[in-house]
């Protein structure tokens, strides 16, 4: 192979590697965005879980209070 053909081949390989590298950079950026979205989703889910737990405890307290009132009303009758 003469020098010109080798140079053309090397140039072609460099272009392909550059294109591959650019594609990897784009993919890396997309993966980072997906990871961020997943973390945001997890944080939101955890927050909702905590809120639901608090609401559940409030409902339990309300049911206990209602039960106490029912018992009092039955005694009055």
* 58-77 residue pLDDT tens: 999 999 999 999 988 888 87
Mean predicted lDDT score pLDDT of the chain: 95
Measured CA to CA in angstroms, residue 54 lies from 25, 46, 57, 71 at distances of 44, 13, 5, 26
* 38-56 residue pLDDT tens: 999 999 999 999 999 999 9
Range of the domain at 51: 1-77
Q: Considering its fold, how many domains does the chain have in total?
A: 1
Predicted pLDDT of residue 72:
87
Q: Give the count of beta carbons closer than 10 Å to the beta carbon of residue 69.
A: 10
Region 21-30: mean pLDDT is: 97
Residue 1 has pLDDT above 80, yes or no: no
């Amino acid at each position: 192979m003469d020098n010109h053909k080798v140079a053309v081949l090397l140039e072609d390989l460099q272009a392909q590697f550059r294109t591959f590298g650019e594609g990897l950079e784009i993919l890396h950026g997309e993966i980072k965005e997906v990871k961020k979205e997943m973390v945001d989703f997890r944080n939101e889910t955890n927050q909702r879980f905590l809120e639901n737990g608090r609401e559940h405890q409030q409902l339990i307290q309300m049911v206990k209070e209602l039960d106490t009132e029912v018992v009092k009303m039955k005694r009055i009758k």
